A and B are shown apart, each in its own frame.
Chain A
Amino acid sequence: MSMIDFQVIAASGEVSLFPLHLLGMFFGSLGLVFFLGAAVGLIRFPDFYTRMHAAGKGDTLSTMLMLTGFGLVTMEDFSLGSWLLFVKIMGVVLFIFIASPTVSHVLMRAASEDDEMPLTEADGKKSSNKGKKRN
Chain B
Amino acid sequence: MKNTSLIPVVLVGFLLFYASTDFPEWGDPQSPASSSPVSSHFIAKTGVDTEVPNMVTAVLADYRGFDTMLETVVVFIAGMAVLAILRNFSRKKPVKRGHEVSVEPDLIVTNTVRLVVPVIQIFSFYVLAHGHVSPGGGFQGGVLMGASFILIALSWDLERALTRFPINRCMVVAALGILLYAGIGVLSMALGGEFLDYAELEKVLPVSREMARYHAMLGVEIGVGFTVTAIMFALYANLSSRGRLEGGL
Q: Do chains A and B touch in the complex (CB under 8 A)?
A: yes
Q: B119 contacts the other chain (Cβ, under 8 Å)?
A: yes
Taking the closest CB of chain B, its distance from the CB of A114, in whole angstroms, is 12
In this complex, the member of A98, A99, A102 whose beta carbon has the largest number of chain B beta carbons within 10 angstroms is A102
Chain A residues whose CB sits within 8 angstroms of the CB of B106 once the complex forms: 105-106, 109
Chain B residues whose CB sits within 8 angstroms of the CB of A98 once the complex forms: 112, 115-116
Q: B78 contacts the other chain (Cβ, under 8 Å)?
A: no
Main secondary structure on chain A at its contact with chain B?
Answer: helix
Measured in the bound complex, the distance between the Cα atoms of B112 and A105 in whole Å is 11
Measured in the bound complex, the distance between the Cα atoms of B109 and A98 in whole Å is 11
Give how many A-B residue pairs fall within 8 Å (CB-CB). 19
Contact A105 B108 (CB under 8 A): yes
Contact A95 B109 (CB under 8 A): no
By beta carbon, the residue of chain A nearest B111 is A102
Interface residues of B in 68-124 (CB under 8 A from A): 103, 106, 108-109, 112, 115-116, 119
Interface residues of A in 95-130 (CB under 8 A from B): 95, 98-99, 101-102, 105-106, 109, 113
Measured in the bound complex, the distance between the Cα atoms of B125 and A5 in whole Å is 41
Contact B109 A99 (CB under 8 A): no
Measured in the bound complex, the distance between the Cα atoms of B103 and A98 in whole Å is 23
Chain A residues whose CB sits within 8 angstroms of the CB of B112 once the complex forms: 98-99, 102
